[in-house]
Amino acid sequence: MTELATEPRRLLSFDFVGLCAVSFLAFCNVTVFYDLFGYLQTLGIPTHLRGVVIGGYSLTAMVLYLVASPFLGPANAPRTMLLGIAVLGLTGLAYFLVHSFWGLLALRMLNGAGQFCLGAGAMALFVAVIPPERSGQAFGIYSVAILVAYALVPAAMDALAPLVPTPPHAYAAATVLLLPAAWIVRRIRGRHAELARVAPPRGHLPAWADLRESLTRPEVALLLALNMAYFANWSSLFFLFKGFARERGIPNVGAFFAVQTGLMIAIRLLAGRLFDAFDKVWLMAASFGAIAVGHLALDHLPGIWAVPLLGGLFGIGLGAGYPAINGLMFEISPPRLRALTANLMLFAVQAGFFLGPVIGGALLARGGYSSYFRASVGLALLAGALSLAMARHRAGRRQPPPGPA
């Protein structure tokens, strides 16, 4: 892989900080759609189809991460990112014009394609600019930059709601943030002009034998399923909570997400020590347990006063779950398959973001929010039980065989 740094490798370089900033700005253009479910209701989109519209974004990104990311490298990443910025800008403005189910589904799919170009291109550059000996710290900071968007944007949208005539005005306003993102990408490309003379990597799709070997390993398949369950729980809550708050008269939805994401950020920053001290499998089980209790409490909400506390509970569960699942996948994967399993984990992320709103919307249409919360509790408990089974299996393998009688 072509390295971008022509100076001594340091973590807080312009490239590293710039890519973190680009990712933050890109995810501001993702989280601004947190009330999309409610907006689709005002357009008369049937309840069971709203999740399909929302999930079209992740379905597109899911497919592209699987088939297109091998063709990305530092040489063609800046051009790909600028293409993604252009697509996101145009689609953000197009919500003024598109109001039908099929039109909105196509628009969300274009959103997913644009976000893939920007996000995957940023990752191709990111892995080329970070010092290998500080990769853990680098990815921790990078994930925090993304989570900050989830913390700030819903709260800012709530605060600015009286000034925003319609949701499409907010979607269009968020595209302004893509202008500094484009400037940063152009600066990075200009700082490394030699990359323009390097032919883009042709890449190749993962070998079917390697793919089959990975998916037939029980621990790999289980971790992919747990990662999918984690993101299905998170994405459905993110997109459906605003409607639930409106139904229950909860005034400040942004506070819930701010507390939740603030704790997630704090845990991610401390994850290095935390996950060295505890078994990742037991942390996974505890994480899903907290998520299950959180959904159960929302289904039996004792009062508005409990909402920030539940935001904290979800923050603990969601904050610990992702590093534990992904850290364990890295540990159990043979070195030659780690790149492939990392791509499979990204596929599982997008699958969870697709399935969460789709299934959540269908459950909401059939039985209201109570039906959705009960199903979310069941999914989290099942994931927790599978985590415990995995913990016992790993503990049994570590025990020495009995000695001779």
Model confidence at 85, in pLDDT bands (50, 70, 90)? Answer: very high
Pairwise CA distance, residues 358 & 252, whole Å: 25
Pairwise CA distance, residues 244 & 231, whole Å: 19
Q: Which of 4-8, 54-58, 114-118, 322-326 has the lowest mean pLDDT?
A: 4-8
pLDDT tens string 304-345? 888 889 999 999 998 888 878 877 877 777 766 665 676 677
Residue 404 has pLDDT above 50, yes or no: no
Residue 201 has pLDDT above 60, yes or no: no
Q: SS in 3 state form for the chain?
A: CCCCCCCCCCCCCHHHHHHHHHHHHHHHHHHCCCCHHHHHHHCCCCHHHHHHHHHHHHHHHHHHHHHCHHHCCCCCHHHHHHHHHHHHHHHHHHCCCCCCHHHHHHHHHHHHHHHHHHHHHHHHHHHHHCCHHHHHHHHHHHHHHHHHHHHHHHHHHHHHHHHCCCHHHHHHHHHHHHHHHHHHHHHHHHHCHHHHHCCCCCCCCCCHHHHHHHHCCHHHHHHHHHHHHHHHHHHHHHHHHHHHHHHHCCCCHHHHHHHHHHHHHHHHHCHHHHHHHCCHHHHHHHHHHHHHHHHHHHHCCCCHHHHHHHHHHHHHHHHHHHHHHHHHHHHHCCHHHHHHHHHHHHHHHHHHHHHHHHHHHHHHHHHHHHHHHHHHHHHHHHHHHHHHHHHHHHHHHHCCCCCCC
pLDDT at residue number 369: 92
Six-digit token string for 229? 């369950």
List Cα–Cα distances, 201 to 76, 335, 382, 393, in angstroms.
8, 22, 42, 41
Catalogue all structural domains in the chain, each as residue range(s) with its CATH number. 13-205 (1.20.1250.20), 208-393 (1.20.1250.20)
Residue 395 has pLDDT above 80, yes or no: no
Q: Which of 227-241, 244-258, 268-282 has the lowest mean pLDDT?
A: 268-282
Residue 94 has pLDDT above 80, yes or no: yes
Q: What is the mean pLDDT of residues 185-204?
A: 60
The winner for highest mean pLDDT among 140-149, 177-186, 216-225, 314-323 is 177-186
% of the chain residues with pLDDT over 70 = 81
Other C-beta atoms closer than 10 Å to the C-beta of 361 total: 28
With contact defined as beta carbons under 8 Å apart, do 290 and 316 qualify? yes
pLDDT at residue number 104: 93
pLDDT tens string 129-163? 767 555 555 666 777 888 888 778 877 888 888 88
Q: Residues 116-146, buried b or exposed e (16+ Cβ, 10 A)?
A: bbbbbbbbbbbbbbbeeeeeeebbbbbbbbb
pLDDT at residue number 322: 80
Mean of per-residue pLDDT scores for the chain? 81
Q: Which of 59-68, 263-272, 389-398 has the lowest mean pLDDT?
A: 389-398
pLDDT at residue number 66: 75
pLDDT at residue number 262: 85
Model confidence at 5, in pLDDT bands (50, 70, 90)? Answer: very low
Model confidence at 16, in pLDDT bands (50, 70, 90)? Answer: confident
Q: What is the mean pLDDT of residues 12-27?
A: 87
Residue 210 has pLDDT above 80, yes or no: no
pLDDT tens string 266-302? 887 776 556 556 777 888 899 999 999 999 999 998 8
Residue 226 has pLDDT above 80, yes or no: yes
